[in-house]
Copies of this chain bind each other. A is one copy, B any other.
Amino acid sequence: MISKKIKEAFLTSSAIRAMFVEGKEMAEKYGAENVYDFSLGNPATPAPASVGEAICSLVREAEQNGAAGSFQLHGYMENAGYADVRRAVARNLNRRFDTDFEEQDIVMTVGAAGGINIIFKTILDPGDEVAVFAPYFGEYRQYAANFDARIVEVAPDFNDFQPNMDDFAAKLTGRTKAVIVNTPNNPTGVIYKPETLQRIAGLLEEKQREYGTDIYLVSDEPYRELVYDGNREDFLTKYYRNTIVSYSFSKSLSLPGERIGYVAVPKEAADAGDLIRGLEISNRTLGFVNAPSLMQKAVAECLEEKTDLAFYDENRRLLYDGLTNLGFSCIKPEGAFYLWVKAPKGEEEAFVEAGKKHHIIMVKGSAFGCAGYVRLAYCVSHETVRNSLPAFAELAEEMNISQNRG
């Protein structure tokens, strides 16, 4: 009595989640300190103290105002979210990125996953195509499938994991309704260069003219603030008019379980008014109704905060240097908290399985539409990274890595 789509999902279910469960089972068996679980993007840094302070002071203030206070904090509001919260988000973006958002351009969402789903519901008809740059967050496939749209994979440049622009040009058709850009990137940690973004924008403008369509660039930005080595936070609306931004506070404030984010639609985007109206309706009818109310108000008070980047940066250096020195071939991460590692001889399954024997949990690249690699989520404790290095050394020896090098 299960639907056909769910039956299919039983067979293709999230490799990331499967490894997460396997890692937990292994931790129970061998002790958490003896398992190096790099499966899930679950932040290791605590939420800034100001988040907890905001939550408690909002709750206390509400209590002092009785029914009206409770209503203001925990009640229904517009499906787009509290007007004052949306105004705060708009002003914060304007100050940081020289944009001109107003409250009516912002829709508060149940995280970026909720954000992308309401965007897709608003713009996608069955059979529409959504272009994604491989490797990419595998859940995009499910989100597109929710609306019977088709994911079209664009190959990377395997030298630096910027997109392969020739392949991108070849993959854009009259049915392309959206292109997802995710920079800093999950799973590679690569930041798309300004030139890359300009070239993407130029090509989309060209194809829009050629096909007489509008193609939306959906910018999935949960890692926006997680940039290293002096890289600057970027904001994609300045490159391309038809950009829709989906943001999440999951990583920047270490709140992934709270499901809080927003979608921003610049006024210059095609059909901007209809988009916003569609997003509001989709927020309601897909069952989100609105982003969680207390957490909306809490993040609005913490927009200037961000998590401890130095913590992730230390992990990044430890893991990248450690694995590179062992002879593994890694893409140097510039942002996010993932390391993208080439599987020895390109055999990802063998690599993942061999890793498990050394209690190292990795996710295979084909989960991200790019076989032959693995992803390591280094949003873990320093100890986990440090202690994993001897295990990686054993793994390198077992797989004859140094011999295979170059």
Which residue numbers of A lie inside 8 Å of B, CB to CB? 1-6, 9-10, 13-14, 17, 21, 40, 42-47, 49, 51-52, 55-56, 59-60, 62-63, 66-67, 69-71, 73-79, 110-111, 113-118, 121-125, 139, 142-143, 145-147, 177, 213-214, 216, 254-260, 270-271, 274-275, 277-278, 281-282, 284-295, 381
Contacts and interface: CB of A to CB of B under 8 A. Distances in A.
Give the 5 A-B CB pairs with smallest separation, nearest first. A257-B293, A46-B70, A117-B287, A142-B285, A113-B287
A209 to B, nearest CB: 15
Q: State the copy count for this chain.
A: 2
22 contacts: A1-B213, A3-B121, A3-B123, A3-B124, A4-B125, A14-B284, A17-B284, A42-B75, A46-B67, A46-B71, A74-B254, A74-B255, A77-B257, A110-B287, A113-B289, A114-B287, A115-B287, A117-B287, A258-B292, A259-B291, A286-B286, A286-B287
Given A1-B270, A46-B69, A259-B288, 15 more contacts: A3-B125, A3-B278, A43-B75, A45-B70, A46-B71, A51-B74, A52-B60, A56-B59, A71-B254, A74-B255, A75-B256, A143-B287, A146-B286, A257-B294, A259-B293
B139 A13 contact: no
A46 to B, nearest CB: 4
Contacts of A287: 110-111, 113-118, 143, 286, 288
Which of A70, A116, A147 counts the most chain B CB atoms within 10 A?
Answer: A70
A366 to B, nearest CB: 18
B52 A59 contact: yes
Contact of A75 (B14, B257, B260, B291): B257
Contact of A44 (B44, B59, B67): B67
Contacts of A9: 278, 281, 285
Contacts of A256: 74-76, 289
A110 B405 CA distance: 49
A122 B2 CA distance: 6
Contacts of A6: 121-122, 278, 281-282
Nearest to A256: B76
Contacts of A282: 6
A327 B78 CA distance: 35
A207 to B, nearest CB: 14
Contacts of A214: 1
Nearest to A257: B293
A47 B71 CA distance: 8
A350 to B, nearest CB: 28
Contact of A114 (B69, B271, B274, B288): B288
Contacts of A291: 259
A123 B71 CA distance: 35
A55 B55 contact: yes
A176 to B, nearest CB: 11
A4 B3 CA distance: 23
B75 A1 contact: no
Which of A75, A125, A275, A284 counts the most chain B CB atoms within 10 A?
Answer: A75
Contacts of A71: 42-44, 46, 254
A378 to B, nearest CB: 14
